Chains A and B, each alone.
Chain A
Amino acid sequence: MGYTPEGRDDALYNYFFHQGVQVSVPAILALADGTVFKGESVGMSGQSVGEVVFNTALTGYQEILSDPSYCRQIVSLTYPHIGNTGTNPEDDESVQVFAAGLVIRDLPVVYSNWRATEGLGDYLQRRKVVAIAGIDVRKLTRILREKGAQSGCILAGDSIDDAAAVAAAREFPGLQGVDLAREVSAAKAYNWDQGSWSLADGFGKPADAPERPWRVVAYDFGVKRNILRLLAERHCEITVVPASTSASEALAYQPDGIFLSNGPGDPEPCAYALDAIREFLQRKIPLFGICLGHQLLALASGAESLKMKFGHHGANHPVQDIASGRVMITSQNHGFAIDEDSLPATLQATHRSLFDGSLQGIERNDRPAFGFQGHPEASPGPHDASLLFDHFIKLMAVARS
């Protein structure tokens, strides 16, 4: 019942309560601009470099860490207490932690949640994530806001060299032009049938296939599990395929629709995917892209992408449906975007961010294809945009009839 002594991060708890002395492992975060933050390690010792981005979501650190879109990014979480609810086997969004590192203000020693099975500290250790706590995270956010996303290096351990860390940060080549999708994508195709999570029943198995289930091929550029769950819940029979799967391989599954997943980094180098997408468009197969998938759909249709100053990473972004005027609060995680000015005549803007006016949604006016820049699958974040999945189903229904 309730609290048990297991509800704590053992490594940290021992420091604080049993040894009586606080033994903390030092760590630093160095930015390419030369700023060095001194804190303490709350993960594995070692060095990690990546693009430093901040995320303003108040909940969902486990989902964020395990979101493949954070590949080669060091995530700084603006909410100061991270780890309050520990971690559990249900909330991972993929098979591993993809973020290159974690930056937080404070990791509480005792976590508390009825679903928790492991503390965040232990989770980070086990997954070999370098992480730093105790720094002025808000100062970091303001630097990133003013100067834009930049490279950084976390160095954790007993021998710390500020200059070496700054140098390592500067050597990080950045994400532009790097094809990360192929790196995080599944090696081979697999099927998915797990449904959404509910308080009463946990993860659902979709009901026995109704008369006409939707066969969907989902391109994995770094897909989050909750996307697949929301599709499964809507009676989709899903085959997840590697990023580089050719159109003909995908078409062999005779899909009713093609789903293009989210993923890390720059869409430009994913030319292989563009060919496949053009083929699907050619064949008028219903197509739905999220985040990177949305950008690829845009590129395949002739639009251009751009690198944003510090991107969108959070769970409170207002996105307006241009046609209805309705505002959805959405989850966002992207450092690249589609330039609305570059949209060809066949692409129509459907959604815009009310934070900065950037393009958030597109739809082909000649093909059953649409894309959304934010994350309608949420996880973490509000569920306001989940209706977009229904729109995909509708497109498949129309195509079939």
Chain B
Amino acid sequence: MPKRNDIKSILIIGAGPIIIGQACEFDYSGVQACKALREEGYRIILANSNPATIMTDPGTADATYIEPLHWRTLAKIIERERPDALLPTMGGQTALNCALDLHREGVLEEFGVELIGASRDAIDKAEDRERFREAMKHIGLETPRSVVAHSMEEANQLQGSIGFPVIIRPSFTMGGTGGGIAYNREEFIDICEQGLAASPTSEVLLEESVLGWKEFEMEVVRDRKDNCIIICSIENFDPMGVHTGDSITVAPAQTLTDREYQIMRNASLAVLREIGVETGGSNVQFGINPDDGRMVIIEMNPRVSRSSALASKATGFPIAWVAAKLAVGYTLDELGNNITGGVTPASFEPSIDYVVTKIPRFNFEKFPQATARLGTQMKSVGEVMAMGRTFQESLQKALRGIETGINGLSTMFEGGEIDAGEIRQQLQQPGPERIRYLADGFRCGMDMEELYTLSRIDPWFLHQVGDLIREEQALNDASLDNLEPSTLWRLKRKGFGDNRLAQLLGNTETAVRKLRLQHGISPVFKRVDSCAAEFPATTAYLYSTYEEECEAQPDERQKIMVLGGGPNRIGQGIEFDYCCVQAVLALREDGFETIMVNCNPETVSTDYDTSDRLYFEPLTLENVLGIVACEKPAGVIVHYGGQTPLGLARALEAEGVPIIGTSPDSIDLAEDRERFQQLVIELGLRQPENRTARNPESAVALAEEVGYPLVVRPSYVLGGRAMEIVHDEEGLRRYIHDAVSVSNDSPVLLDHFLDDAIEVDVDAVCDGTAVVIGGIMEHIEQAGVHSGDSACSLPPCSLDAAIQDRIREQTRKLARGLGVVGLMNIQFAVQGKDIYVLEVNPRASRTVPFVSKACGVSLARVAALCMAGKSLAEQGITHEQVPGYFSVKEAVMPFIKFPSVDLILGPEMKSTGEVMGVGRSFGEAFAKAQWAAGDALPRKGRAFLSVRRRDRALCVDVGRELVRLGFELVATRGTARALDKAGIESRVVNKVKEGRPHIVDMLKNDEITLIVNTTEGKQAILDSYTIRRTALHRGVTYTTTMAGARAMMLALGEPVRDRINRLQDLHQELVS
């Protein structure tokens, strides 16, 4: 069947901000869907609140709305754009839930919008735990024994029939939000309460635990003629009990015979048919009893997902692109397989001749109060994927790509004794480093049987890890000089990195590389072609391995290589991938051949369509040098992928790699405190008083010189890792003792902290001479809150024009002083009339996509062309665009996923994503951003105020405004007294430790709609912790800063639902 002609325009809903469980894989799928449908001539309307996406680029869709993903806003968009159809399967659970809401509210019916890609009933049947279970029963497939409960009372009654441990799964949530495994009554009640609250239908499934069973996933695509294909099977290294998003996973499945594989294949197809997924991709999860092969269905998702993105990258089969085409009427046999240049159809099952390993990336170090244990609720923030010709090779490549400072199966007991007891515990109760504990288990001689009994990891995988450790141990007595070439060859084929071998042999990476190349041992590149070489592939999608034949076939064109950002983590996320993609697109348009290097399977940059050539490789010196040796690019861009490639700049340059744009020396000049300080002095600018301490004792002395309070942090970090504000010597000593090790190699930076200063971010582009400001952003939260966690406004909401002009002038000076060619980001602090330079980063920043969307200029594109030698004037970019509307960026926090973590913001970045709100006033934009971040500001009700002493004056203003808006006030004693003095009426409420009823009781009884709570000092923070945590769980609007409270006052009265803005119209406004 050809495509449908009865529909002309289609609305696609994105996934909103990056959160744990829903990351940039939905940017990848959304972009593919837009491409696939626009090339068919459909008009595409796109809604997504996340500005850091490629999908919200004004060129991706015909009409783009960066608006809150709420059915009311979507209804407005539908009313204006009148789409014929809605495709809800590309934006994760968020989009599916929005579609269900729109249906329920009658919007789809009212405007005659047809759901395509998945019917309402199919979504409901797959997501509703009870209906799903019934459906599986109907087709004779087993599910774990389970019951459904809608209240705590019911849950308690039914639990007995399941026993302990019991798994709790809330309906209609993703990433296992609100769920968990309960081993006892107390845990059961906790998790159920949380789960019932998290489920939009107040429904939880209580399920028999199949902990320790083998876990598999099948990625399935079906068309309207009932043609069904399996794209990829995935086997989890970690057995059942760890969320699949937090598991190490391997494709294809390794430990199934054909009989068992086909049973699973048949079951997958039966599930899609029964659920009624008529067109598109789905994934089905299975558990298998390792002792007898008994198979149960765990769940299915009737949409593209994180694992379908992984499967697409793993096989070269673009699931989202195909699913979008199927949604408009095509059948699989009518679509070509793009990777073979269309010589084969899409109606086949990819065959792969390599092994793919995905390893999740965690950020537990950011949440010290959270227990680093894995369960059914996803906690990882990113992932790395690697390909190798064997599992061992792909595993070790992935371990190097994960960028947690390891170079392979590094021991967890560096410099100490291996503790077998610790290993046993870690294997039984998995945490993020289980595989390394497993390796240590082999190191200390534990046998496979014991390791299996503890971990239930399949013996096949265990042996593969054990064999690597055996190889490592065999090197104990070896040295680089007496290493046989055949041994080196074997080790490289098993995936050992040069740096790992160097460490094992007590030598340097450079020496290992030299010897390797002397022996003629260098990597070859094989193609990902979806067909195991049965057909020639026209696409250059490559990975490295150690074999005989290289298939890279580089050509002689002028090439520019862009190094990506690796796995997402807090502080280095989708924003950097956005920049990399922009660079590639701009350079491609300008006639360069582009080469992308990255190892993050969620991203648009690793879509083989994005660049001319894609190398799916870890971003390590060894791997990058291997590619450079093969491709010989004219230029390499290291400035767009965040800290990852930037960290390689010096070493690459030393090896003669041509780095274009801002030089590694300039990067160093900006990052080296002492060199930078010199520059600031030369330019006549100001910095907060600062010193660099290279040992603990000098730190104390230097701190005296600078004066408290201090911002302290290790050098060369991103995302405020281990950054703190200390108020006195005691605090400083504790920091040095607990948080960091200070040495010559890793100095600690001491900066005077500017109290109550306004922080400002500036993004600018420089071509070496001319400088164009991209945008000036005023932070809402005061200096001291990490810029990535702070909301910000563009243009600034309170800074006067004179200050802004001085900021512009300083930006130009710094750009020229540093010799920037490309992007730069500067953070300033404004205290009264004084402007301080906090930090300059001559690279892509987190705010580049936001500024680009707000100002209608793609800074990353412009800067990439500057790097390639095109001046700003040649590009026609001559002046700053200052919009007549306000854009507000707000950070989105992952606290809900980390029980027992405090919500207070500080210098360490904790947010995973961002949203953008646009309005004619700052208040409107801010209100929209809050709403988009999931916080619909209350219009009335009772506000709770509790602020630290020095905020009391400001709190009076806030209190007055709240009363004016019709809020009733309750406050803790001190705050109430301050309000009373100013003649503002409030009711006193007990703090938690003051006896009951207290504020948390009120929160739990839904008597509070808004919280302003600022606090400092260890005890006060501890005392008020439950208030914040309860607010989070009850969904009560809260702020922990006075600056946030003031912004909120401006926003409270603003209408958020009335006006929607088409991005293309906003940008048109700027041009005219």
Contact = CB atoms under 8 A, between A and B. Distances in A.
Given A108-B463, A138-B549, A378-B262, A114 B534 contact: no
A325 B331 contact: yes
A265 B1003 CA distance: 79
B229 interface: yes
Given A136-B549, A318-B333, A84 B460 contact: yes
Given A59-B256, A112-B458, A141 B534 contact: yes
Nearest to A86: B257
Nearest to B549: A139
27 contacts: A59-B261, A79-B252, A79-B351, A90-B259, A106-B389, A112-B255, A112-B458, A135-B548, A136-B547, A138-B353, A138-B526, A141-B532, A142-B551, A145-B536, A199-B293, A314-B534, A315-B349, A316-B350, A316-B531, A317-B348, A318-B345, A320-B333, A327-B331, A327-B347, A354-B348, A355-B535, A382-B262
Contact of A108 (B449, B464, B470, B532): B464
Of the candidates A91, A138, A381, the one having the most CB atoms from chain B within 10 angstroms of its own CB is A138
B467 A16 contact: yes
Interface stretch (A1-9, A209-217, A253-261, A365-373): A1-9
Given A115-B293, A316-B351, A84 B255 contact: yes
Contact of A59 (B227, B257, B534): B257
Nearest to A379: B258
A325 B333 contact: yes
Nearest to B449: A3
A79 B532 contact: yes
Contacts of A342: none
Given A81-B391, A109-B463, A114 B536 contact: no
Interface in B224-279: 225-227, 229-230, 233, 252, 254-263, 265-266
B1020 interface: no
B252 to A, nearest CB: 5
B3 interface: no
Nearest to A105: B389
A3 B531 contact: no
A80 interface: yes
Contact of B531 (A4, A7, A56, A320): A56
B941 interface: no
Given A57-B258, A135-B548, 5 more contacts: A8-B463, A78-B533, A110-B448, A114-B293, A142-B533
Interface string B707-746: 0000000000000000000000000000000000000000
Interface of A: 1-5, 7-8, 16-17, 37, 54, 56-60, 62-63, 78-81, 84-85, 88, 90-91, 105-106, 108-115, 135-139, 141-142, 145, 197, 199, 314-318, 320, 325-327, 329, 354-355, 378-383
Interface in B416-474: 448-449, 452-453, 456, 458-460, 462-464, 467, 470
A108 B536 contact: no
B257 A327 contact: no
A75 B333 CA distance: 29
A142 B351 CA distance: 15
B344 interface: yes
B292 interface: yes
B865 interface: no
A110 B459 contact: yes
B354 interface: yes
Contacts of A60: 257-258
Contact of A80 (B291, B292, B295, B390): B390
Contact of A354 (B347, B453, B460): B347
Contact of B345 (A88, A106, A354): A354
Contacts of B448: 3, 5, 110
Contacts of B453: 2
A109 B463 CA distance: 8
A186 B295 CA distance: 37
B145 interface: no
Nearest to A325: B225
A2 B290 contact: yes
Nearest to A13: B463
Interface of chain A, main secondary structure: loop
A80 B355 contact: yes
Contacts of A112: 255, 458-460
A81 B349 contact: no
Interface string B371-406: 000000000000000000111000000000000000
B349 A16 contact: no
A5 B449 contact: yes
Interface of B: 225-227, 229-230, 233, 252, 254-263, 265-266, 290-295, 331-333, 344-345, 347-355, 389-391, 448-449, 452-453, 456, 458-460, 462-464, 467, 470, 526, 531-536, 547-549, 551
Contacts of B229: 329
B165 to A, nearest CB: 19
Contacts of A355: 344-345, 348, 535
B351 A63 contact: no
B527 to A, nearest CB: 9
For the complex of A and B, the 6 pairs showing the least CB-CB separation, nearest first, are A60-B258, A110-B463, A380-B258, A139-B549, A112-B460, A78-B532
Contact of B290 (A114, A138, A318): A114
B291 A114 contact: yes
Contact of B257 (A81, A85, A108, A383): A85
B533 A199 contact: no
A111 B459 CA distance: 8
A322 B292 CA distance: 41
Contacts of B345: 318, 354-355
A235 B761 CA distance: 78
B533 A111 contact: no
A27 B1011 CA distance: 75
A2 B293 CA distance: 11
A145 B535 CA distance: 7
Contacts of B533: 78, 138, 141-142, 145
Nearest to B294: A199
Contact of B333 (A56, A137, A327, A381): A327
Nearest to B348: A318
Contacts of A325: 225, 331, 333
A3 B259 contact: no
B428 to A, nearest CB: 15
B108 to A, nearest CB: 31
A78 B353 contact: yes
A327 B258 contact: no
Of the candidates B257, B261, B352, B462, the one having the most CB atoms from chain A within 10 angstroms of its own CB is B257
B344 A3 contact: no
Contact of B258 (A5, A316, A381): A381
A109 to B, nearest CB: 6
B441 to A, nearest CB: 14
A46 to B, nearest CB: 24
Given A16-B470, A138-B353, A316-B351, A56 B226 contact: no
Contacts of A145: 533-536
A315 B261 CA distance: 12
A197 B263 CA distance: 11
B459 A199 contact: no
Contact of B534 (A56, A326, A383): A56
Given A91-B259, A145-B534, A378-B262, A1 B227 contact: no
B534 A329 contact: no
A327 B349 CA distance: 12
A318 B254 CA distance: 24
Nearest to B252: A58
Contact of A199 (B227, B295, B531, B548): B295
A59 B470 contact: no
Nearest to A63: B258
Contacts of B549: 136, 138-139, 142
Given A316-B350, A327-B332, A56 B259 contact: no
A128 to B, nearest CB: 23
A378 B449 CA distance: 35
A115 B294 CA distance: 12
